[in-house]
Amino acid sequence: MPVRRIVNRQEIVVPRHRTAAVGTTRVSRLVDVARNVAAVTGGVLLVAVLVGAGIDIARIDGTRGGYEAPYRDYRGTPIDWDAETFTTSTGMVATGHVIDVHTDCTTGMIGFEILGVVHLDYRRLSPRALAVHDPATACRERGLEPRF
């Protein structure tokens, strides 16, 4: 069955076995290959960023339970501020693959930096986080005066 195509604003009838050859050039094939390579590369990078973000989110808080005062019935390991964070001028930062977690000793806020581009102040440290992870002591050890 013939195929109708528009070439140079004119409709032509092309036998089915010749449709692949009509309008194809080396340049158009290279453009198609480049477009496909870019699409695959973008897909792989998107998956890598999502996996990295998932790993970072899972590492933020390694404790479970203890959600009611006095916050002592938790399981897991609290944040090791010396091993897992770096000191900044206002607090501490835990670096991840995609997401960095900032703890601000001057305001008591935690925030996130995504890919080093987007910085989001999330919220004040919760009473549970203050009791279980004890960021106030870590701030004092770094010479910062916690105000939370």
The tens digit of pLDDT for each residue in 83-102 reads 999 999 999 999 999 999 99
User: Following CA atoms 124, 130, 133, 136 in sequence, which dihedral angle do they give, to the nearest 10 degrees?
Assistant: 90
B/e letters for 30-56, b = 16+ CB within 10 Å, e = fewer, are: eeeeeeeeeeeeeeeeeeeeeeebeeb
Distances from the Cα of 132 to the Cα of 5, 85, 101, 102, angstroms:
70, 16, 17, 17
27 token code pair: 């340049």
Q: How confident is the model at residue 147 (pLDDT cuts 50, 70, 90)?
A: confident
Residue 43 has a pLDDT of 97
For 37, phi then psi, to 5°, come to: -65, -45
Instruction: Enumerate residues 6+ apart whose C-beta is below 8 A from 86.
Output: 92, 93, 94, 95
Structure tokens at 24: 């194809």
CA-closest candidate to residue 102, choices 45, 140, 90: 90
Mean pLDDT confidence for 7-24: 64
More confident residue, 147 or 13: 147
Give CA torsion, residues 127, 65, 79, 61, to 10 deg. -100
Mean pLDDT, the chain, whole residue set:
88
Residue 81 pLDDT > 60:
yes
The two structure tokens encoding residue 54: 């998932």
